[in-house]
Structure 1
Amino acid sequence: MKSLTAEKKKRKTVPKELIYEMRYGSPIYYRDYDRVLSGEKSLEEVMGSSKIQWFLVYLILKFLMKNLDTDKYIIATNEAGFQWAPRSWRNLDIAVFDRKKLKKEKLDQKYVKTPPEVVIEIDTKADLRKYGDFMNYMREKTNDLLNAGVKKVIWITTFDKKVMVAEIRKRWFITDWDDTIELIDGININIKKLLEEEGVEI
């Protein structure tokens, strides 16, 4: 009973700005949110992306804009909010939407409800302590997205230079940055090659 009361008290005292995502009414906080509460860090520090995170987003967006049929697809970024169930939403680093499906929604200040065709995630800003490790969080978010109608989820992790590809009713697999994977419609991407083309070595 005490732990439940403590959890409810914590939820009341944590500002909504420190909530990274929401899953069935249960908040997922930003990494180091408690250090913001204690004054050790600012809100901007925990919400910001690292150099390698935003640079990879830039490279992938540049690649998509060059190779993707933008008459057929719309690319969203900037932690696009996707509401996939009541009291549930996830932030998406890069999302590729079917233009016709997305245009059925009004352009307003709410989170998008149309499932993207492809979601690309680079690491995470989520607090992982209740998950134990990154893999548990990644599996949960991936399953949520696929069950919500996303056709493909791709994770790019910088700490081990890996890429995970997940599709519903297909075998998930993890490979290296130097492997070539399909994004959508036969368009292939190779993270290591993108970096080399920019003259960047990690």
Structure 2
Amino acid sequence: MATTIKKELKNKKKSRKKVPRALIYEMRKGSPIYYRDYDKVLKGELSLEAVMGSSGLHSLILLLLIKFLLGRLNTKKHYLGTGEVGYKFAPRSWYNLDIAIWEKEKVKPYLTQDKLIPVAPEVVIEIDTKADLRKFENPQDYFHRKTQDLLDSGVKKVIWIFTKDKKIWIAENKKPWLIVDFDYDIPVMGKIKFNLKKLIEEEGQNV
């Protein structure tokens, strides 16, 4: 009987499809957070590129913010990281960041290394997420958890842009977290502020 059970368990393990590393979007305390619809890739219903790709609106907002920040940041003092740069915030833990602003001297040693950056940025700006949120009791749990992890690790400010609801979330340690509209002047650092609605309209677009 025991031999039969062992064989069944062994066959069951073999039948499970192992999730490829490429489908891991982020990692928190050794627990993987997969790309949204990763299971459809495993079933052959979607390609890997389909779940990793960004929407047109995500691309537009990202471009507008990069252009805006590069025009106002002192690039001798600060480094602007983009393109889902990987930030290792704790052992066996890392997050992808759409936009991150670092003190240049602190991050400089890691910019030529082929590995995740272990230094906390000053500011992080996120646009939606590609994470699969089904493992969370509530989708907001992911955003709260990621935000708090970033702040606890030394990030001074986290800004979330939610394109579906047209809302922006501003979070800082020991301050009330704010939820505002796209037409709000968002303070980034120092005197640098952006108004997303105006940036989009200046590009001849409307959302």
Question: TM class, shorter-chain normalised?
Answer: over 0.9
8 Å CA contact 2:38, 2:51 repeated in 1: yes
One-letter amino acid matched to 2:68: F
Query: Deviation per CA, 1:138-175, whole angstroms, max 9, x where unpaired?
Result: 10000010001000000000000000000111111100
Unaligned runs of 5+ residues in structure 1 are 1-7
Alignment partner, residue 186 of structure 1: 191
| Cα drift, residue 104 of structure 1 | 4.2
Alignment of structure 1 residues 73-88 onto 2, 5 Å: 73-88=78-93
Whole-angstrom distance in 2 between the partners of 1:188 and 1:167: 16
Is the counterpart of residue 32 in structure 1 residue 49 in structure 2?
no
Is the counterpart of residue 17 in structure 1 residue 17 in structure 2?
no
Whole-angstrom distance in 1 between the partners of 2:15 and 2:165: 33
The TM-score with structure 1 as length reference comes to: 0.93
Is the counterpart of residue 117 in structure 1 residue 137 in structure 2?
no
Alignment partner, residue 7 of structure 2: none
Structure 1 segments, 4+ long, off by >4 Å, are 8-12
| Cα drift, residue 12 of structure 1 | 7.0
**Cα gap change, 1:198 to 1:141, in 2 (>3 Å):** same
Match of 2:152 among 147, 153, 163: 147
Is the counterpart of residue 195 in structure 1 residue 200 in structure 2?
yes
Whole-angstrom distance in 1 between the partners of 2:148 and 2:14: 29
One-letter amino acid matched to 2:43: S
Whole-angstrom distance in 2 between the partners of 1:172 and 1:9: 46
Query: Deviation per CA, 1:105-156, whole angstroms, max 9, x where unpaired?
Result: 4621110011000000000000000113432111000001000100000000
**Cα gap change, 1:12 to 1:21, in 2 (>3 Å):** farther
Is the counterpart of residue 59 in structure 1 residue 64 in structure 2?
yes
Whole-angstrom distance in 1 between the partners of 2:137 and 2:29: 20
* Corresponding residue pairs, total: 195
Whole-angstrom distance in 2 between the partners of 1:175 and 1:9: 49
Whole-angstrom distance in 1 between the partners of 2:189 and 2:145: 23
Alignment partner, residue 6 of structure 2: none
Unaligned runs of 5+ residues in structure 2 are 1-12
**Cα gap change, 1:98 to 1:10, in 2 (>3 Å):** farther
Query: Deviation per CA, 1:53-78, whole angstroms, max 9, x where unpaired?
Result: 01100000000011111111100111
SS for the counterpart of 2:83 is: coil
Is the counterpart of residue 136 in structure 1 residue 141 in structure 2?
yes
Higher Cα Rg, which structure: 2
8 Å CA contact 2:182, 2:197 repeated in 1: yes
Is the counterpart of residue 70 in structure 1 residue 62 in structure 2?
no
Whole-angstrom distance in 2 between the partners of 1:97 and 1:10: 45
Aligned Cα RMSD in Å? 1.6
The TM-score with structure 2 as length reference comes to: 0.90
